[in-house]
């Protein structure tokens, strides 16, 4: 079953280009074969290029009015029957898609409810778990059923989750909690100055981001990881790097 991963990005080159490159590398390392990554770049004056299999970069010359509308555009371009968000500044471990598909089973929506938190002090497992929608998996059919994401940048993930969970025809996967060694998402904090979730007024911040200086031109993306994140998480658990 094909999974379409939707990766919204904006104004990453040159200084933060490595974040997007690591996100793409996370996609390429997934052990589920039927997949595509749609990188949706709406930064006027910047053209992103990436010549790797199953990665489609779409450059749009005008910025979307909100994050929700941008995510809906990504869904419209997707060819998979399963969908997931793919944030451009986080890390997904190689078993993210395969584990999510297994846990989804015959349901419509799955969210693990647990993820690694990485800040300047290292990896954490004892942090407060928030919505975590950026690590979820859902069927395209239910995205249509709830009319997609709201046309806003404030609480877009929370509102979409509420739409799914409150709809009588949407079945959420009733999966057991993932073991620590099964956690597949690393939520990074402090690596990006344009993080929407850190702002009290995301809509205003989204507009402000769109007014920041842009270094125009073409940027060729070269997917890579700066470190072996599987080994990093194994070490944090006191496991062998090869215990996956």
Apex CA 211: angle with CA 135 and CA 25, to 5°? 30
The confidence band for 131, taking pLDDT boundaries of 50, 70 and 90, is confident
Distance between CA 58 and CA 47 in Å, rounded?
A: 9
pLDDT for position 203? 85
In this predicted structure, what is the pLDDT of residue 49?
A: 98
Mean pLDDT (whole number) for 191-217? 79
Tell me which of 125-129, 169-173, 207-211 is least confident.
125-129
Mean pLDDT of the chain: 92
Between 35 and 125, residue with greater pLDDT: 35
For residue 145, the tally of other CB atoms under 10 A from its CB is 15
Least confident of 35-44, 94-103, 207-216, 223-232: 207-216
Please compute the mean of the pLDDT values over residues 91-106 and round it to a whole number: 97
Provide the pLDDT confidence category of residue 199 given band limits of 50, 70 and 90.
low
Query: What's the pLDDT tens digit per position in 10-37?
Result: 999 999 999 999 999 999 999 999 999 9
- Helix (H/G/I), strand (E/B), else coil: 143: helix
Rounded to whole angstroms, the Cα distance separating 243 from 189 reads 26
Is the model's pLDDT at 193 over the cut of 70?
no
What integer pLDDT is reported at residue 201 of this predicted model? 75
Domains, the chain, in order of start with CATH, read 3-236 (3.90.550.10)
77 touches 127 (CB < 8 A): no
Model pTM? 0.94
């Amino acid at each position: 079953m094909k999974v379409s991963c939707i990766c919204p990005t904006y104004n990453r080159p040159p200084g933060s280009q490595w974040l997007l490159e690591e996100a793409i590398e996370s996609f390429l390392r997934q052990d589920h074969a039927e997949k595509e990554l749609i990188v949706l770049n709406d930064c006027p004056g910047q053209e992103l290029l990436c010549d790797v299999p199953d990665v489609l970069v779409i450059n749009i010359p005008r910025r979307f009015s909100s994050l929700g509308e941008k995510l809906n555009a990504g869904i419209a371009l997707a060819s998979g029957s399963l969908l997931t968000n793919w944030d451009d500044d986080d890390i997904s471990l190689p078993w993210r898609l395969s584990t999510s598909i297994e846990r989804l089973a015959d349901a419509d929506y799955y969210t693990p409810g647990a993820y690694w938190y990485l800040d300047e002090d290292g990896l954490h497992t004892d942090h407060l778990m928030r919505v975590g929608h950026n690590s979820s998996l859902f069927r395209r059919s239910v995205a249509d059923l709830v009319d997609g994401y709201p046309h806003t940048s404030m609480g877009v993930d929370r509102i979409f989750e509420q739409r799914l969970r409150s709809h009588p025809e949407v079945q959420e996967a009733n999966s057991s909690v993932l073991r620590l060694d099964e956690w597949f998402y690393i939520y990074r904090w402090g690596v990006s100055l344009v993080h929407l979730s850190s702002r009290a007024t995301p809509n205003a911040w989204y507009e402000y981001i769109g007014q920041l200086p842009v270094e125009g031109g073409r940027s060729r993306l070269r997917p890579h990881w700066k470190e072996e994140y599987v080994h990093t998480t194994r070490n944090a658990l006191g496991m062998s790097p090869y215990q996956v």
